[in-house]
Structure 1
């Protein structure tokens, strides 16, 4: 064999072997038999630590799940207890309402309201109110007394810019002057008018016939509202009561033009002249107050399903209003829980102080000009539809910081939507 052939033979036999060894490295054996004693012990220690860590993780996870389960069980028990308490409260309220309905149903198909049961002291007006002379001002649609101020600049209610500075002592000039109503206003004498008697109803009155349970007048505003209600509720004619209730929309003609007194519904006339004395109240809030008082009075004079459904849901009387005797002015406060608080604590929230803070510190947050809240309807003026929808949302009724400082316990009830 030549020297070249020997070289080729050697190259061919060695080439594949070297390539295979380069591309396929030898695998390291992990068998314990191939490890030294120290390596084997180290591997056992690592395995033990890994197993202990795994067991600890499983134990911690189980404990966390058990804690979560315990918390859920506890909260569920608390919720169940709260639901049971609420259910018992509702059952009790339902029982009281049923008793109230039975009381209202009276004997047969007629019932008498206990809202205005005049005692002896109401038959004689307070000394600072002049006696009634001549024809009652409640006749023929409540002809307004000339003593009532109809222009804001003549109001006897001095405006207070900052309700955090309300000085009760400075207002101690007589309850009727403090309320913003002229003390010279003639009021009906309870001894000269028949007792209040609601229109005939079915044997078992429905919810729209469950009227608020009123105390005798506690302030000048109560005298006006209950006097008007009492004078106009003694008719048994549904047509007369319906005509008196008038349209659902309050007329704002007297608010814009006090001299235009013709063809104004009696309820609208009353609300316009009462609110005209509160010159410190901004126009959107004043119209909103009149709107609530008009809807409330309209339903109380003519308690039908229609007039009841015209009330915003949050303005409809609560069980407390129907069961517990209270001052009539409370019915016009927008927040149901606040009304209940006022009824349950009358000594803590007298009308004189609360009405001052309320009227100055409540806002309806109307984002447009005040003139946009009123629209023309033929020869009349009524609240704009957009404004009406705005004030029908209870969330738009808020209070200022000054109100919150005066009545911090009411803040949660004002902003609660339950």
Structure 2
């Protein structure tokens, strides 16, 4: 039996330190090199903490901002009650000092302003500013008057042709005595033949009488007193005619020949009156009588203020009948009250204002009264040439006045005014309380006066803002053209 051979002796192989044939370093040298590289890297890292790179600077700033935003030792939350009370006291004292400095600065500036205003140069400047404003106002007034004069001159340039036309006509034979009254009686006989069914909405005082009588007998038949005319603020009764027979004859007979037309053409445009014919209704009698009376006042030496009153009607008396006003306003307010369909404030104010301007010019045909009339309500050639009813002159639309003047007795008063007044509109879109404005009185015992709002006056002076309804245009299509606005509410 053979014995197993003993194990081979263990042998340990150690690395060789001899230089390798391929020129590589021994392994320990590689390790030493790695240690040196690590030491160099560590040294560089330590140096980078002391000399930060741009990226490190940004990171450091970010940490600094975060540290600053965090509650610090100076925050209110970290203060003791004593420190907090002291801080609040310091804040109050600082605010008080700031307010004191601001107040002192304002007082100093105001004192300086007063000193400058009290000096002569500032007062001279204020006086110059006032003179400039007055000069501008005068220039505006002159510009307005120049425009009116230009309109008058342009209208007067047409007069030679009209004069030549009338000069070529052969004169009419003289009118026999009583012929005018006979013709008037015939006209009255036809014009007073009215249908009673159309008078329901017309006030009884403005309805024509049913019997065929002269104006004198009509005045007594309607109960018009002979001496009810009142002046200086007393209200005029609507049911009045003239005081004396001569005045009644003067009101009932009007110029109907071309002589009146030629006489008017010889006058300036502002003085050319309309050819008002015999009264066709009590309203005509009221208007003609009033014009004659106040023209007589001017001829007798009365002042213009007494004859035609102020420049604006009394809107306060329109709303409160107990108030006293000038006779011109009183008459028109009484007439306006007889048309119950004109019940809206814009329409009442506009109609009263236009009738007021027309009546003042008819009494005193001067340039000032004529210039205040809107161009569209000034008399047209047909109104001066042809006899017509007095109430025609108070209608806004020139085409309507022309057709009514040329139509003669075709259009009856009560037939016309009912559809007109029921559909008349000023198309005022603002609230009604903006139509009039209240002006305090200089006397503390007097109530404020109501004046027309300048905005509404500008509105009503444009004919495009006046309109009638479609029912009126259907009833009187010949009275409507493109200048008459049709609008149904």
Q: TM-score range by the shorter chain?
A: 0.5 to 0.7
Gap change, CA 1:319 and 1:203, over 3 Å in 2? closer
Gap change, CA 1:142 and 1:410, over 3 Å in 2? same
Alignment correspondent of 1:410 = 479
In structure 1, how many angstroms separate the alpha carbons of the residues matched to 2:162 and 2:423? Answer: 35
The answer as to 2:455 corresponding to 1:394 is no
Which residue, out of 323, 328, 337, partners 1:267? Answer: 328
What CA deviation, in whole Å up to 9, does each residue of 1:352-404 have, x standing for no partner? 11111111112110111222111223342222111111000001111211112
Structure 1 position 267, deviation (Å): 0.9
Instruction: Trace 1:36-51 onto structure 2 (pairs within 5 A).
Output: none
Moved segments of 4+, more than 6 Å:
90-93, 96-99
The answer as to 2:373 corresponding to 1:311 is yes
The answer as to 2:364 corresponding to 1:302 is yes
| DSSP-derived class of the 2:411 partner | coil
8 Å Cα contact 1:292-1:332 kept in structure 2: yes
Pick which of 361-370 and 371-380 moved more: 371-380
Structure 1 position 142, deviation (Å): 6.0
| DSSP-derived class of the 2:450 partner | strand
| DSSP-derived class of the 1:368 partner | coil
Structure 1 position 203, deviation (Å): 12
What CA deviation, in whole Å up to 9, does each residue of 1:270-292 have, x standing for no partner? 11121122222122112111111
Structure 1 position 243, deviation (Å): 2.9
Alignment correspondent of 1:277 = 338
Gap change, CA 1:411 and 1:202, over 3 Å in 2? closer
Which residue, out of 106, 111, 130, partners 2:223? Answer: 130
What CA deviation, in whole Å up to 9, does each residue of 1:114-163 have, x standing for no partner? xxxx9993344356312525x33245566423xx5xxxxxxxxxxxxxxx
In structure 1, how many angstroms separate the alpha carbons of the residues matched to 2:284 and 2:161? Answer: 27
Q: TM-score, normalised by structure 1?
A: 0.57
Alignment correspondent of 1:186 = 240
Tell which structure's C-alpha radius of gyration is larger. Answer: 2
What CA deviation, in whole Å up to 9, does each residue of 1:77-107 have, x standing for no partner? xxxxxxxxxxxxx6797338987xxxxxxxx
In structure 2, how many angstroms separate the alpha carbons of the residues matched to 1:91 and 1:305? Answer: 18
Gap change, CA 1:335 and 1:137, over 3 Å in 2? same
Alignment correspondent of 2:87 = none
Equivalent residues, number? 267
Structure 1 position 218, deviation (Å): 0.7
Structure 1 position 297, deviation (Å): 0.3
In structure 2, how many angstroms separate the alpha carbons of the residues matched to 1:215 and 1:138? Answer: 25
8 Å Cα contact 2:231-2:326 kept in structure 1: no
Which residue, out of 237, 240, 249, partners 2:303? Answer: 240
The answer as to 2:416 corresponding to 1:354 is yes
Which residue, out of 178, 199, 206, partners 2:268? Answer: 206
5+ long unaligned stretches in structure 2: 1-157, 168-183, 186-212, 255-262, 442-447
What CA deviation, in whole Å up to 9, does each residue of 1:283-318 have, x standing for no partner? 211211111110000001111000000111011000
What CA deviation, in whole Å up to 9, does each residue of 1:54-86 have, x standing for no partner? xxxxxxxxxxxxxxxxxxxxxxxxxxxxxxxxx
Alignment correspondent of 2:317 = 254
Q: TM-score, normalised by structure 2?
A: 0.49
The answer as to 2:384 corresponding to 1:322 is yes
Structure possessing the higher relative contact order (Cα contacts under 8 Å, 6 or more residues apart): 1
Alignment correspondent of 1:384 = 453
Give RMSD over aligned pairs: 3.3
| DSSP-derived class of the 1:311 partner | coil
| DSSP-derived class of the 1:345 partner | helix
In structure 1, how many angstroms separate the alpha carbons of the residues matched to 2:369 and 2:335? Answer: 22
Instruction: Trace 1:129-208 onto structure 2 (pairs within 5 A).
Output: 129-133=222-226, 135-140=227-232, 143-145=235-237, 185-189=239-243, 191=245, 193=247, 195=250, 205-208=267-270
What CA deviation, in whole Å up to 9, does each residue of 1:318-359 have, x standing for no partner? 011111111000001101111000011123211111111111
In structure 1, how many angstroms separate the alpha carbons of the residues matched to 2:292 and 2:419? Answer: 29
